[in-house]
Amino acid sequence: DQQVKQNSPSLSVQEGRISILNCDYTNSMFDYFLWYKKYPAEGPTFLISISSIKDKNEDGRFTVFLNKSAKHLSLHIVPSQPGDSAVYFCAATGRASGNQFYFGTGTSLTVIP
Amino acid sequence: DAGVTQSPTHLIKTRGQQVTLRCSPISGHKSVSWYQQVLGQGPQFIFQYYEKEERGRGNFPDRFSARQFPNYSSELNVNALLLGDSALYLCASSSRGAQGTDTQYFGPGTRLTVL
């Protein structure tokens, strides 16, 4: 039962343009959402998070948007840089799930110079 | 400050053998979680420990077990290895564990290959 879904396995974007990565979830009890970035042969690196009491959180070039009614979140990267090329995972958790993290299957982002 | 560390980085075992993976959390973090990541998938939750007690268990068989030590480091044990256990095993630490939602920080992982 995949509670967190990333329906786009890959995305290619030109350097300097916006990258938008999407994520959907099914469990309405999730109240904390995160994005992780993963390079090959490394563990996931925390990027940005958002609590369910907010609908937007920004950190530099990275912004996460949360639409609770649609059970959808997205990560915007502006401007995209070649070093952003990696696999991006969204994750969801909440007190009701005992802080267990549920991950999507990942989106591989390629930023073309 | 050192991040989450895991050992070994790579491991090759044969079917039926047993394996022990080790993890040291970020200093000050009391919660450790273990995940299995197979190629093309996201990490799948195996266990969470907080203050040396099991606080969560994912949908994995009893061949998988874990423990947390007084210094908050942790071991993951897998018995009677199957080919399907080949994966990247990730350890993550956080400060609050199941006491509240908190960011988990991951180690580099242990790549287990079962032949």
pLDDT (tens digit per residue) in A58-76 = 999 999 999 999 999 999 9
The C-alpha atoms of residue A92 and residue A103 are separated, in whole angstroms, by: 7
Distance of CA B35 to the CA centre of its chain: 5
Collapsed DSSP state (helix, strand, coil) of residue B14: coil
A95 to B101: CB separation less than 8 angstroms, yes or no? yes
Using a CB-CB cut-off of 8 Å, the residues of chain B touching A102 are 45
Q: What is the pLDDT of residue B1?
A: 61
Burial class (CB within 10 angstroms; exposed 0-12, middle 13-18, buried 19+) of A82: exposed
Which pLDDT score is estimated for A33?
94
A107: which residues sit within 8 A by CB, 6+ positions away?
A: A6, A8, A9, A10, A11, A21, A22, A87, A88
Torsion of CA A105, B95, B3, B23, to 10 degrees: -80
Model confidence pLDDT, tens digit, residues B25-61: 999 999 999 999 998 899 999 999 988 899 888 889 9
Structure tokens at B108: 């580099």
pLDDT at B101: 61
3-class secondary-structure state, position A34: strand
Say if B97 is an interface residue toward chain A (CB within 8 Å): yes
Which 3 state secondary structure label does DSSP give A84?
helix
Residues 14-73 of B with CB under 8 A from A: 31, 33, 35, 40-45, 48, 55-56, 58
Contact B92 A101 (CB under 8 A): yes
Average pLDDT value for chain B: 92
Average pLDDT over residues B58-80: 96
CA distance A42 to chain B (A): 5
Would the CB atoms of B42 and A104 count as touching at under 8 Å? Answer: yes
pLDDT score for B55? 86
pLDDT of residue B39: 87
pLDDT, mean of each 10-residue run, chain A (113 residues): 91 98 94 92 91 94 97 97 96 80 95 96
